[in-house]
Amino acid sequence: MTERYSIYGSELSPYSVKIRSYFRYKKIKHEWIERSLKNQKAFRKLAKIQIIPLVHCPNGEVLQDSTPIILKMEEEFKTKPVVPEEPVLAFLSRLVEEYADEWAVKHMCHYRWHYEENLDSAGKRFAKLFVPKTIQQVTWLRTFFLNKAINTFKSRMSKRLWVVGSNDVTRISIEESFKNLIELLDKHLEKRPYIFGSRPSIADFALWGHIYNANNDVTAHELIDEHVPKLNDWIERMLDPKETGDFESWHELKPTLLPLIKEEIGETFLPWVTANNDAVKNNKDELSISLKGRPFKHKVTSVQKFHAKSFGLLMEHYKSVSQNQELEEALVETGVKEYLNA
């Protein structure tokens, strides 16, 4: 039995690179296996559900879903914890992670599958993984099958934008949210290498996964280069993060982290997730709310049910720390508190 973990993932999957970056930071011995046609059979044999990342442990256990993977690994590998000990920072780091995995995914998927130049770029990268190497060695066969695969991916993914709530009604809100996020994050990172100080937190891994993937596509990359070029330092750093000190206090982080949490989580993500949870609970087919004065309307599917489940797990964590006065004050200031009591 090997002592090395195997991570089945993809460079184009924000949740996969989130886990790879975490394993690198924790110095956990692992093998990165890019999911492709070559290993499809092995992956399907291991997977409970057909999603990545998948971690195959040395003891044979199979883990899926990025947040439970990290929390499980934190129990096994206790050095360099990625969830701060202070209750206020512990919850806020989990809250930012939740925002990243359940809202920032809209940014990445929208830019990737809405704009033609991104569809072409991502389609080519996906196609190369699922056209056999033997075919790619023959020029005319490579051209034919790669083009066929590219068109298949483009057609399938552009038609699935509704899964993340991207449509003509929500487009402006999603794009404005991304622009606001990267500007606030860039300002916050001017004085520190990571979101909560001098070492990466669970929030860094999650948020980075989505921004890194968006940055690999044409449109978002141009936005970052034009408006927040210094953010590329953090994007590059998170490929193989290193601790250079400790987490900061909420008092030190507050001047620039509070605006990010207030505007992107308190005023955007939580109003949406509250409406989403209500729609799921009442078996509604559609969600319709106003976000920052703009209509935000989309279908409610099994994906939205997963969002509700994920938020429920975060609320369990909140109940365990909700008596902390500093945390409660921070939640009121950021506009988060009212949604946790909803």
How high is the pLDDT of residue 71? Answer: 96
Residue-wise pLDDT tens digits, 56-67: 999 999 999 999
Structure tokens at 124: 């080519």
Residues 186-200 as b or e (16 or more Cβ within 10 Å = b): bbbbeebbbbbbebb
Percent of the chain with pLDDT over 70: 90
DSSP 191: G
**The sheet that has 5-9: what strands, in order across it?**
30-34, 5-9, 54-56, 62-64
- SS3 per-residue string spanning 111-179: HHHHCHHHHHHHHHHHHHHHCCHHHHCCHHHHHHHHHHHHHHHHHHHHCCHHHHCCCCCCHHHHHHHHH
Name the CATH architecture for the domain at 5-76.
3-Layer(aba) Sandwich (3.40)
Residue-wise pLDDT tens digits, 267-283: 999 999 999 999 888 99
- Chain mean position to CA 21: 12
- Looking at per-residue confidence, does 100 or 147 come out higher? 100
Tell me the residue type at 104: A
CA distance 161 to 159: 6
Domain with CATH 3.40.30.10 in the chain: 5-76
How high is the pLDDT of residue 140? Answer: 64
User: Among the ranges 51-65, 156-170, 291-305, which has the highest mean pLDDT value?
Assistant: 51-65
CA distance 49 to 64: 8
Give the pLDDT mean for 78-104: 96
How high is the pLDDT of residue 116? Answer: 82
Query: Which runs of E-coded beta strand occur in 191-271?
Result: none
Residue-wise pLDDT tens digits, 222-266: 999 999 999 999 999 999 999 999 999 999 999 999 999 999 999
Q: Evaluate if residue 1 carries a pLDDT over 50.
A: no
